[in-house]
Amino acid sequence: MTTKKITEENKTCPAQTLLKQLSGKWKPEIFRLAVNSPLRFNSLLRQIDGSNKQALAVALRELEEAGLLQKVVIKQKPLHIEYNLTENGKSLIPVFKQLESLG
């Protein structure tokens, strides 16, 4: 009988990974706002009280790297960028609605 060595990756449950990806000061609020419409950076900056450019940029990048947000460059004058939920991000909407009903 062979035994598998348990690594950190093997021990992490999917829910724990997701919570880690969504944890942070601004990420839940960014996600909540993205459910309703595409997001633009300056609009987010105005809507999220207490946020700053650097922290917001980091949170957006991390959500993008996690595959929950997609950065879309719109090539019109002036050039602008929007953030949309990916299909993976959209699949989490029912989970958030369920959590919201508990609170």
Position 87 pLDDT exceeds 90: yes
Other C-beta atoms lying within 10 Å of the C-beta of residue 25:
13
What is the DSSP secondary structure assignment for residue 57, as one 8-state letter? H
Read off the pLDDT of each residue in 71-80 and give the average, rounded to a whole number: 90
Per the domain annotation, does 3 fall within a domain?
no
Per the domain annotation, does 70 fall within a domain?
yes
CATH code for the domain of 27: 1.10.10.10
How many whole angstroms separate alpha carbon 46 and alpha carbon 29? 12
What is the DSSP secondary structure assignment for residue 7, as one 8-state letter? P
Per the domain annotation, does 68 fall within a domain?
yes
Q: Please indicate, yes or no, whether the overall pTM of this predicted structure exceeds 0.85.
A: no
Q: Worst-scoring range by mean pLDDT, 9-13, 15-19, 24-28, 34-38?
A: 9-13
Per the domain annotation, does 57 fall within a domain?
yes
Per the domain annotation, does 6 fall within a domain?
no
Number of separate domains in the chain: 1
Nearest-CA neighbor of 69 among 77, 60, 78? 60
- Mean pLDDT (the chain) is 86
Domain hosting residue 74, numbered range: 14-102
